[in-house]
Amino acid sequence: MGKTDANNRLKRLRNHYRLVVMNEDTYEEVVKFKLTRMSVYIVMSTLFVLMVGLTVSLIIFTPLKYYLPGVGYGSVKQIKEYRDLKIRTDSMEQALIHQHTYFLDLQKVLQGNVVKVDTTKLNLPKVEKSDD
């Protein structure tokens, strides 16, 4: 039963078919092709492989790779420069935040808006005395 099914499929792949393109007005045959299912599969597979190969080579060998997210960062030198610039930007942002806080505190002191804190009411940890 398994062999006849496999033979049946193989025979269907090798059956010959005719594809005819006709002019609708005159019913004249413009083009005709003799095809098998196997030849159609082979042609479609070949076209698929060629299209994938063309697309991949187009992306790899042209500047299109720079437009893909996460792929086209460039050379190693550019990646290092990007990291250095990011670190410098982050540190500059932190310095700007600290400077802004300093100026706000300085402005409060100059305007006299300083809240006086009673240091006797601070919750400091108690230090136990040792008898040495």
**Position 93 pLDDT exceeds 80:** yes
Which has the closest alpha carbon to 21: 8, 36, 32? 32
Average pLDDT in the chain: 86
> The pTM is what?
0.48
How much is the pLDDT for 49? Answer: 98
Inform me whether the pLDDT recorded for 132 exceeds 60: no
Q: What is the pLDDT of residues 8-66, one digit of tens each?
A: 888 888 899 999 999 999 999 999 999 999 999 999 999 999 999 999 999 889 888 87
- Domain boundaries defined on the chain: 1-59, 70-114
> Do residues 122 and 116 make contact, with C-beta atoms less than 8 angstroms apart?
no
